[in-house]
Structure 1
Amino acid sequence: MMLPKGMFLSLDGLDGSGKSTQCRLLAEYLKSIGISVVSCQDPGSTEIGRDLRRIVLHHKGDLSRSCEANLFMAARAQMLTEIILPALDRGETVISDRYLLATMAYQGHGSGLDIPGLRQATLFAAGGLIPDLSFVLDISVATARGRLGANPDRLESRPHEYHERVRQGFLIEASRDTDRIVVVSAEASTEEVHTAVLSAFKTWRALHELA
Structure 2
Amino acid sequence: MTTRGRFITFEGIDGSGKSTQARLLAEALRAQGRDVVLTREPGGSPGAEEIRRLVLEGDPDRWSAETEILLFTAARRDHLERTINPALTAGQVVVCDRFADSTRMYQGLSRGDLRALVDQLHDLMIGRDPDLTILIDMDPDLGLSRAKGRQGHEERFEDFGLELQLRMREGFLALAAEFPHRFRVIDGARPIETVAADVLSLVEPALP
Length-normalised TM-score, structure 1: 0.90
Q: Secondary structure at the match of 1:187?
A: coil
CA contact (8 A) 1:132 1:180 kept: yes
Q: How does 1:65-84 map to 2 (within 5 A)?
A: 65-84=65-84
Matched position secondary structure for 1:10: strand
Length, aligned pairs only: 202
* 8 Å contact from structure 1 (residues 12, 136) kept in 2: yes
Contact 2:107/2:114, CA 8 A, preserved across alignment: no
Letter in 1 for 2:110: G
Letter matched to residue 123 of structure 1: D
TM-score normalised to structure 2 length: 0.91
1:20 — aligned with what? 19
Which residue of the partner structure matches residue 188 of structure 1? 190
2: CA distance, partners of 1:124 / 1:165: 27
Q: How does 1:13-162 map to 2 (within 5 A)?
A: 13-60=12-59, 62-126=62-126, 128-148=127-147, 149-151=150-152, 153-162=155-164
Q: For residues 112-142 of structure 1, give each alpha carbon's deviation from its aligned partner in whole angstroms, at most 9, with x where no partner exists.
A: 232223222223232x111111111110110
Residues 1:7 and 2:3 are matched in the alignment: no
CA–CA distance in structure 1, aligned partners of residues 75 and 191 of structure 2: 32
Runs of 4+ in 1 over 3 A off after TM superposition: none
Question: Does the 8 A contact of 1:43 with 1:72 survive in 2?
Answer: yes
Q: Is the 8 A contact 1:103 1:122 kept in 2?
A: no
Unaligned runs of 5+ in 1: none
| Residues 56 and 10 of structure 1, relative CA distance in 2, 3 Å threshold | same
What do residues 53-73 of structure 1 show as CA deviations (whole Å, max 9, x unaligned)? Answer: 111111346211100111111
Q: Percent identity?
A: 35
> Aligned equivalents of 2:6 and 2:19: distance in 1?
18
After superposition, the C-alpha distances for 1:174-209 in whole angstroms (9 at most, x for unaligned) are 11111211011111110111111112123444xxx6
Judge conservation of contact 2:15–2:146 (CA < 8 Å) in 1.
yes
